[in-house]
């Protein structure tokens, strides 16, 4: 049974998806907005001293900030590069172990070239935690299991629940010498993007609550899932306000004066099937400008609700309204 926060996240996501397609300028602006926001918030959780404005100056203008440690600057630059890369990974069919190593290399290269993109070969401990992380001798095997689990379960769980589980499992392995928290949040957001959700921020002001939820997840995973869902909802609400007040979209969705922009996605997909009996998932995905994974998820829901049925062979069949 879904928690209230997961239900809110799903409802908000419906509203955001109904606003598509957004103008290219708006999409570019939002990507840059979260590039700064996620870099700042994720680094701040780890004690980085740069303000959000300073983070923007560093990653967009390539400038250093007087009086601030060079490492803090490198963390901002590296995180921004890794953020850009998760958008590329979001387009791929599967996640590979090499993708995770590349992500860490992008983040950590300027900080510690010797350990960037490499699993640790020494034991580490999480301060304040009563639990141990994976022994370094077992990291390679555990990461292979992690990637396999990721690809097998991506379509089985609610996208937010899956993203929280990705974060939790990665942190419990702690495969790198440093940067594990930021990597976990990047992978969490990669999972959200792949599930057609927006970037989610965990504000530094919620650090104690965040760490506590992670610690509690060893015994009860629902605590951390609910915390992540709450952060997703908060970020979604901010984005909805931003879009509705920007003039680029109206309150019901789509570009200005876009007809039927606020129609529920289930209804949009059903209407398209009624217009084009026998249409397949890739064609629906292209027509409605949705990720194939998202389209397939809604098709399954419509089948479960007995609104549609699939006829024919798996490779060349199509969907029909009942």
Tokens of 177: 């010498």
- Burial string for 17-38 (b: 16+ CB within 10 Å, else e) reads bbbbebeeebeeebeeebbbbb
Rounded CA separation 228/251 (Å): 26
| Other beta carbons less than 10 A from residue 255's beta carbon | 15
Rounded CA separation 88/9 (Å): 24
Contact between residue 138 and residue 120 where contact means Cβ atoms under 8 Å apart? no
Rounded CA separation 122/65 (Å): 33
Catalytic (active-site) positions:
174
Rg, Å, the chain Cα set: 21
Q: Residue 209, exposed/middle/buried by CB under 10 A (0-12, 13-18, 19+)? A: middle
Contact between residue 133 and residue 126 where contact means Cβ atoms under 8 Å apart? yes
DSSP string, 52-114: HHHHHHHHHH----TTS-HHHHHHHHHHHHHHHHHHHHTTSSS--HHHHHHHHHHHHTTT-TT
Q: Where are the alpha helices (DSSP H) in 174-248?
A: 180-194, 207-216, 221-246
């Amino acid at each position: 049974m879904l928690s209230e926060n997961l239900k809110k996240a799903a409802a908000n996501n419906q509203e955001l998806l109904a606003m598509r397609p957004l103008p290219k300028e708006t999409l570019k602006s939002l990507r840059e907005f979260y590039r700064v926001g996620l870099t700042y918030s994720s680094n701040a959780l780890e004690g980085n001293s740069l303000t959000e404005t300073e983070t923007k100056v560093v990653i967009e203008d390539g400038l250093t900030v007087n009086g601030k440690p060079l490492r803090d600057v490198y963390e901002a630059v590296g995180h921004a590069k890794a953020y850009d890369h998760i958008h590329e990974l979001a387009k791929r069919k599967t996640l590979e172990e090499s993708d995770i190593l590349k992500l860490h290399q992008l983040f950590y290269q300027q900080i510690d070239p010797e350990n960037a993109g490499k699993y640790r070969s020494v034991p580490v401990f999480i301060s304040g935690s009563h639990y141990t992380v994976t022994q370094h001798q077992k990291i390679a095997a555990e990461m292979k299991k992690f990637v396999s689990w990721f690809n097998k379960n991506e379509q089985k769980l609610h996208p937010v629940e899956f993203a929280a589980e990705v974060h939790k499992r990665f942190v419990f392995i702690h495969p790198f010498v440093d940067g594990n928290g930021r990597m976990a949040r990047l992978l969490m957001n990669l999972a959200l993007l792949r599930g057609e959700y927006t970037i989610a921020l965990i504000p530094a002001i919620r650090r104690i609550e965040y760490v506590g939820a992670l610690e509690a997840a060893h015994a009860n995973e629902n605590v951390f899932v609910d915390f992540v869902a709450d952060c997703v909802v908060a970020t979604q609400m901010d984005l909805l306000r931003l879009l509705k007040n920007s003039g680029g979209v109206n309150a019901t969705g789509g570009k200005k004066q876009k007809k039927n922009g606020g129609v529920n996605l289930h209804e949009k997909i059903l209407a398209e099937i009624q217009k084009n009996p026998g249409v397949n998932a890739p064609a629906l995905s292209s027509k409605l400008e949705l990720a194939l994974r998202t389209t397939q998820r809604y098709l399954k829901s419509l089948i479960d609700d007995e609104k549609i049925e699939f006829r024919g062979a798996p490779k060349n069949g199509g969907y029909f309204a009942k």
